[in-house]
Each structure stands twice: as structure tokens, then as C-alpha cells.
Structure 1
Amino acid sequence: MTHHEQKLPDSPESYWRDSTDLPSFQELTEDVKTDVAIIGGGMTGITTAYMLTQKGYRVVLIEAGRILNGTTGHTTAKITAQHDLIYDELINHIGMSKARAYYEANLQALSFIRNLVHEQNISCDFQEQDACIYTTEEKSVQKIRKEHEAYQKLGIEREFIKDLPVPIDIKAGLIMKNQAQFHPLHYLKHLAGAVQKAGGKLFENTAAKEIKEGDHPKVLTTNGHMIISDYVVCCTHFPFHDKKGFYFARLEPSRSYVLAVKPKNPYPGGMYLSIDQPSRSLRSVTIGGENMVIVGGESHKTGQGKDTIEYYRALKSFAESVLGIEDILYRWSTQDLITLDKIPYIGPIYPKEKRILVATGFRKWGMTSSTLAAQIMTDHITNESNPYKEIFDPSRFHPDPSIKKAISFNTDVARHLVEGKLEQPLRTPDELAPGEGSVVSIGGKRAGAYRDENGRLHTVDTTCTHMGCEVEWNDGEKTWDCPCHGSRFSIDGEVMEGPAVAPLNDPKN
């Protein structure tokens, strides 16, 4: 078989999900009272539930779908404080001591995971690895040098390099020592079990619709039940309760892609990330007892980009040139949110609202960020001081790049809003072949249609129920994606990813 024939898997599936037998949980069928209500069953929600139950708090966690199926189930799972190029920028924007604190906060999250894995003997392929950023372009060497200087100033253990142990011709690289990688779902399955043992309650297929503020905030679910608590923690990726925080204007959704490949040439270990565009990421993973490699990259803004299969093809040809491909075992994609100043928003959702907390904007570094978020929010609830809370406070405001960026996010949103409304679809549903989706015209109106493999047609109104932008077809994942704020919907219009709460309408109405 020639290497050109290495086929991409037919449908996207994450290796982490496929290799983890997760328990399933009932949906919430009654009103309940608890100390803390947690919305979202990803790494942030489950780690927060774990920390709180260990301190004796009663916790109810609800998840709209299945737990650990969102961003957490689709990560590359690097546990590191090396977040691309960031430290030189942080020193310039927030000063030396806060930049150092950002590093320490993420390092502390890494040691929390490391200690827990060792103490509780969690088998989750936890491995110490060095993390390395690199460039293949002469013009970016200066960026790596500046980042190296930033590491020096901040006292980060480092090494400046000009060669990689993988065959990529680099101009410069920077290593952060003693970082780690693991199997995130094996780790979190253990934590979810510990939450249950400690009396915490987890519910699936239970979506939050609204939060009523007050001394005892109430979470209302779409199936008509209520959770009354002292604190509500929103770990839903995008804070859907957004009446005054304007988070939609302060977060940009970004997608990226992942392949798990069996390489022809042995992989030397280490976690690598290019700072060039399009991005490239590498790390090892053990699948079925064999050493495989996770190849990631190709970021773009959600709902805006070329045909999604093209991104997978680009990663495939990169993997082929660097490692040689024996087989491609999995492909999947993921979405995350980026804040205006690249630092996550963690803490009270608005300055005066101390009982509703939020954690969002992890910029694809969710393994340390979610652990750190769980620590900050747990300390807030238990009334303990946390040295890092100020840096991540959602109501912080660095006037510097924020204003310009907020305006550009929003002009981009406005442009998509207007363009989507003006676009005249030329196709009709009859023209769609099985397995094909497209924006079409139904009765003279813009609609979305997908013809499944059995020839059945699924149609939706393409107006996003969040703020009225027009969704676009995502062929790689067979979803309808909103280019404005990153909501994603199934072929039948069900919400797969927020901020939208309501499904897409029926185009015939």
C-alpha cells in the first residue's frame, strides 16, 4: 500500500473518548437543593466538584449531553505552562510580577495533577515531558529569542535550541523543562468516581436554561426543574448566562484539528508546537500498547474557513513528511475560546455578583487552565485566599489591546451578521447528494439542508438562536456552525455547543 492511500477515518472520533468506558448518569427529574450547582461536565466542572466534595461541600453537577464530551474529550492533553508565545507579551501588558504569577499558577495546576495521579495511583499514562515551541521561519527567530529572554527574566527553567529530535528543519526553538502529558479521560473518570463516593451528584442530558440571581441563585433546566444553591459555577465553555458581562464580545471562538497516527519512524518523545501559521503540534500517545503520535493544528475562527476536510488533509501531509504514516487511527476537531488579552476569565461573572462564578477562555490550554480555575473557584467558595485570583478576574480591564480587539471582534461579528443576511443561496434541497449539506433556498428563504446516507432530508432555519447570525455548514463534522460566537448545532438543529441555548428553528415556520 503506498503512503498516498493512507485514508482519513470516515467519521471524526476522539481517541480519548473511544478508549474510555465512561459511566452514564441519569437526567435530573426533580427540584434539588445543594451547596454548589456546577453547570458543565468537562475538566473544569469535574475538577471543581472533586475539590469541593473533598472539603465536605454538597455538589450537584449537570451536563447538557454526556460528561467529558466537549473540549475536554477532544484535547491534545498537554499539561504545561508553555502556552505558545505568551510570556514576553504578558510582561509587556501586565508587568513582571503578574507574568510570573501566571506561570506559577499554571505550574501549580500541573503539580496538582501530578500529585493526585501519584497519590491515588491513577492509571492515565501520565508522563513527564519537555514542552518545546519552535519556528521554521527566519523572520520568527526574533520572537523565540524575546520569549527566551522573558523566560530568563521570570526564572523559568529553559533551553534555547537550534535542532529538534524530530526531522523538522527549525531555525530556533525554546524548551520549557519538566512539563507533562496524560490521558485526560482516564484521569477525570477517576475524579468523577471520587465525586460520587463523596456524595456529589452528577446528572447528564440536563441542560441549564437560565440562572436566577440572588442570595440563593437558582439554575433552571430546559426540562423544567430547578437547582437551588449558595453558589453556581458555570463551566460551560461559553458563559450562557451573560446578561451584563458581554462575554460574547470578549471571547473569540477558534477551532483546531487533530489526527492520531501510527508513525513509520520512531518518535523521540517531547511535546512540540510551532509558532508559525498554520500551527503544528506533536506529542506521543500509547494506543493498544503501541507508540503513536497525536498531530494537531490548523486553527481558524469557528464557522470561517475552508472545507474542514482540507484541514485534516494538511495535517496528514505534515505527519507524512515528518514521521511517515503507517496508519491513521483517529481524527477529531476541537473548539476553544480566546479572551481579549489571552488570559482566561476565572471568577465572579460580574464584579458585584459573588455567587455566580465563571471559567472560560482557555485558549486551548485547558488542562492547566481548568485545574487552576477549579482551585480559584473552590477558594472563592470556601472563603480562602488565592494568590492568583486577581490576574484571572473576569472583570479586570487592561485598556491596552482589549479595546481595539473588542472592536475588531465585533466588527467581524457585524460583518458576518450582515453578509449572512444578504447571501442569496442558489441551491435547492433536491440538488443534495446523500451525505451532503449546504445552505439552500426553501420557499425563497435561506435555510440549511443535509441529506443523510439514507436519502432523508434534514432541514433547519439557518438563523442562530443566540444573536441572529447565519450559521454555515461544517462538512468535516456534519454540523451547523455560527461564525459570530461559535455556537454549533446538529443536522436537526439541536445545540451541540453554546452560547446558544435554543435549537435552530424549523425553516417551514
Structure 2
Amino acid sequence: MKTDVLIVGGGITGSLAAQHLAARGVDVTIIDREQPGLGSTAASTAMLQWEIDCTLGELSEFYGFDRAASLYRRSAAAVQGLTGLVGALGFDCVFRPRSTLYIAAGEVGPAALREEHLLRQRAGLPGMLLDHAELLSRFGIDRAAAILSPGAADADPMLLSWGLLRDAAARGARLIDAMATAYHDAPGAVTVETDGPFVIEARHVILATGYVMPDFVKSEIHRTASSWAIATTPQAPGSLWPGSELIWEASENYNYARTTADGRIIIGGGDDDTVDPTERDSKMPEKAAALIDDLVKLWPAAQPVVDYSWSGAFGETEDGLPLIGVVPGMPRILAAYGYGGNGITFSFMASRMLAELCAGHREDWFDAFAIDRPSPAG
């Protein structure tokens, strides 16, 4: 069969790309080796932040303030764009605008947060610095300082992905249960073999396969890691922090927490370099116990009873920026990987960038996400 754009992977990145391309009148086909969304999308805690794993200060040291500030503003615009898209399409995915609390942790104290806040102000980014007394009185959180920022959101990632796929299908996109087994990039088209009785010829292929990268996609700044998460039983009415802000810690290996519409607390973290799924699953009991302990320290009012626990792999990069763009040496194959803690935010950004590249349009700022970019450390 022939198609304009073949998307490999029907999770959140693939569904965002499919919906956007289909809305632009592009002939789209999506293939997935399992039910769409049951890969890395299902493991997402769906904290839709514009703040990047690499702070604005760190990113400025790598690439200069102007470039770093521009990338932060684009991330903020991506959350706004996703908010507008969900509102326009009108399907229910428990999407809720939220603010974030970036709280002091480890060696990152008030002075470091103050420097980061000043840089954000200089970049025109929203937010306010809270000292210990303000943080404690307003939110009941006993940390030395925090940055409170609007413009984030949370959602049910599966419902979000499925809603986007339904809209794409209504616009003519095809979803096929198949696994890609080989790619042949030629000057006029890409031919993709599958484990089914057909091959697919496409003008462009978009790889949206979560953390599973084909061996021909290589990056010296990317690595795969694992994260663990738990969801508590529904908490007593009035016992959650005011505003249900998304909370994340200002440390290299940080915990992150949010509430849900039915009153649960989700907390995740404990990241390490585990890649084997069996080994990752075996660590769940100790990781869950550690997360419960951290939750009680963060929010003593929590009822520390675990209702659900899960883990997942994710890709991250040295500079906290994703890998989005053309696969080096394969000009008709595009890819999106390495989202770190900004999965769905960067998925939205990727869907827009890759659609432009499929249309033959490229902007200079795309280079910041190049798959073959060198290590920022030199």
C-alpha cells in the first residue's frame, strides 16, 4: 500500500502527529505492534510541564542565554498549543490546567532557585519565587524555597492519545496492527516491510516508538533509563495541597508528584539506568516503599496506601532537550525520542516540527533538537 506519511507507533507522539497531519489534509497511515498507547504512553504520569529537566541556567551555560530562553519559551508555547487543541477537539481526557511548584531539594537551595527565577524573568517566563515561610503558609510544604509557575497541565494520557487517534481516523487516517521489520530509504520514497502480508511505501516515515529506538537511529547524548511511580488510594476530602499543583524537586534525580481528579496522589521517581524489563519489575516493591516514604516527608497529611504501582523506561539526553528531526543519512525518515521528563509537551512540539519537515519546511531552531548534535559538554 502507499501513503504520504507512515507513522510507526500509535502512542501519544504518533497520535499527535497523525491528528495534526490528517487535519492538514495529509494521507496518513499509523502502524503499531500492539494496542496503541500501551507502551510508554501508558507509563506516563502526564505532568505536562514547560519547564525542562535541564534548568534555564544550565541550558544557558551550554548554548547561551538567548538560545536557551527561546527554547524554554517554545516549550511553554507547546503546552499552550496542546491546551488549545484539546479544547477545540472537545473530547474528555481529564485535561486540567495546572501550575507547577519547583521545590528546593538536595544541594539546590534558595540561592540557586533565586538565580533560576531571575533568569526566567529575564526570558519573559511567568512565575514567582516563594521563600520558606510563603511556601509553608500557602501550600503547607516544608521546603526552603520554591518557584511557582503557571502554564502547565495534567491529563489522562491514554484517553488523550485515543481521542487524538479517533479524530485522526475521522479525518481519513488508517490504523493498522503491524510491526515494522525493515526500512529501505530511497530517493523518492521509503519502503517499510512489516510482519504482515504487505509492505508500505511512504513519502516520509515518522518513528514514534517511545523508548524503543531502531538500531539505525544513533545519538551520542542519549541514554535509556527507568522510572517508577505509585498512585495512592483516594485521599480524604480537603487533605490535598491547595490548587493541586504539579510538584517536582530541584535535584538531578528528582521526585515528582501530582493529584488526580478522583483525589489520589501520584508520585514518581527513583530513576536509575535499569533497562531490562524483568529487572525493572523486580525493583518495584523497594521503589514503591521509597516513594511512599518520600511522599510522607513531602506531604505528611497523605494517607500512604498504594493502590497502583508501575514503572517504565524513558529516553533522556545530556542537555534535557529531545531528539526530533531527520535521521542522519536517511532523509525521508524522521524521528522523535529522548523526551526526559517532558514527554507529552515534547510530543506536541515534535508533531508540529515533523509535519513541517514532511512538507519541506525547516526552521533554524530545529537544529537545537538534531538527532546527531554533539555533546554539549564537548
**Structure 1 length normalisation: TM-score?**
0.67
Q: CA deviation at 1:385?
A: 4.4
Q: In structure 1, what is the Cα distance between the partners aligned to 2:267 and 2:349? A: 26
Q: Distance in 1 between matches of 2:123 and 2:145?
A: 20
Superposed CA deviations along residues 58-110 of structure 1, whole A, max 9, x for unmatched, are 11111122201122111111112112442111111111222122112212211
Task: Tell me the alpha carbon deviations over residues 400-430 of structure 1, each in whole angstroms, 9 at most, x when there is no partner.
Answer: 41x5xxxxxxxxxxxxxxxxxxxxxxxxxxx
1:207 matched to 2:157? The reply is: no
The equivalent of 1:381 in structure 2 is 358
- Cα displacement (A) at 1:354: 2.2
SS at match of 1:230: strand
Note if contact 1:43-1:370 (Cα within 8 Å) is conserved in structure 2: yes
2:218: which partner in 1? 246
Give 3-state SS (helix, strand or coil) of 2:264's partner: strand
User: In 2 relative to 1, CA 282–335 (structure 1 residues): closer, same or farther, beyond 3 Å?
Assistant: same
- The residue that corresponds to 2:285 in the other structure is 309
Moved more, 230-239 or 371-380: 230-239
Q: Name the residue aligned to 1:256.
A: 227
Q: CA deviation at 1:192?
A: 0.6
How much does 1:167 deviate?
Answer: 4.0
1:284 corresponding residue in structure 2: 259
Amino acid paired to 1:181: D
Alignment of 1:10-29 (within 5 A): none
Look up the SS of the partner of 1:355 in the other structure: strand
For residues 98-497 of structure 1, the aligned pairs below 5 Å read 98-137=67-106, 140-162=109-131, 163-164=135-136, 165-204=138-177, 206-214=178-186, 215-223=188-196, 225-238=198-211, 240-243=213-216, 245-247=217-219, 249-261=220-232, 262-264=234-236, 265-268=239-242, 269-276=244-251, 278-287=253-262, 291-303=263-275, 307-321=283-297, 322=299, 323-325=301-303, 327-350=305-328, 352-386=329-363, 388-397=365-374, 399-401=375-377, 403=378
Query: Secondary structure of the equivalent of 1:35?
Result: strand
SS in 2 for 1:263: coil
Offset of residue 361 of structure 1: 0.3
Matched-pair contact (CA < 8 Å) for 2:93–2:163? no
Rate the CA distance shift 1:251–1:400 in 2: closer, same or farther, 3 A.
closer
Task: Give how far 1:125 is off.
Answer: 2.0
Partner of 1:157, secondary structure, is coil
SS of match in other structure, 1:369: helix
Q: What is the one-letter code of the residue matched to 1:105?
A: R
Residues of 2 paired with 1:241 and 1:138: CA distance? 38
Larger helix fraction of residues: 2
- The code of the aligned residue for 1:281 comes to Y
Q: SS where residue 325 of structure 1 aligns?
A: coil
Distance 1:271 1:140 in 2: 19
Distance 1:277 1:374 in 2: 28
Specify whether residues 232 and 177 from structure 1 end up closer, same or farther in structure 2 by C-alpha distance, changes over 3 A only. same
Conserved? CA contact 1:42–1:70, under 8 Å: yes
CA gap 1:136/1:99 in 2 versus in 1, 3 angstroms:
closer
Select the structure of larger CA radius of gyration: 1
Higher deviation after alignment, 37-46 or 376-385: 376-385
- Any stretches of 5+ residues in structure 2 without a counterpart? none
CA RMSD in angstroms, aligned pairs only:
2.2
**Residues 105 and 388 in structure 1, CA contact (< 8 A), matched pair in contact too:** no
SS in 1 for 2:260: strand
Once the two structures are TM-superposed, the CA of residue 191 in structure 1 deviates from its matched residue by 1.0
Equivalent residue pairs, number = 363
CA distance in 2, matches of 1:238, 1:136: 28
Q: 2:54, 2:320 within 8 Å by CA — same for their partners in 1?
A: no
The verdict on how the C-alpha distance between 1:326 and 1:91 changes in structure 2, with shifts beyond 3 A counting, is closer
**Following TM superposition, by how much is the alpha carbon of 1:263 offset from its aligned partner in structure 2, in angstroms?**
2.8
Aligned pairs for 1:51-62 (under 5 A) are 51-62=20-31
**Secondary structure, aligned partner of 1:315:** helix
What letter corresponds to residue 123 of structure 2 in structure 1? L
C-alpha distance in 2, partners of 1:383/1:278?
A: 39
Deviation readout 1:328-370 (Å, 9 max, x if unpaired): 32111122111232211101011x5321001000012111100
Counterpart in the other structure of 1:469: none
Choose between structure 1 and 2 for higher RCO, CA contacts under 8 A separated by at least 6 residues. Answer: 2
Q: Are residue 89 (structure 1) and residue 89 (structure 2) matched?
A: no
For 2:54 and 2:103, the matched residues in 1 are separated by: 10
Cα deviation, residue 46, structure 1:
0.8
Partner Cα distance (2:140, 2:43) in 1: 26
The structural deviation recorded for 1:277 is 6.0
Distance in structure 2 (CA, Å) of the matches to 1:138 and 1:251: 25
Pick from 34, 37, 41: which aligns with 1:72?
41
Contact 1:84 1:133 in 2 (8 A): no
Counterpart of 1:95 in structure 2: which amino acid? G
Structure 1 residues not aligned, in runs of 5+: 1-31, 404-509
Question: Quick one: distance in 1 between partners of 2:120 and 2:167?
Answer: 37
Contact persistence 2:254–2:270 (CA under 8 A) = yes
CA contact (8 A) 2:108 2:251 kept: no
Letter of the 1:371 partner, please give it: F
Shift of 1:166: 4.5
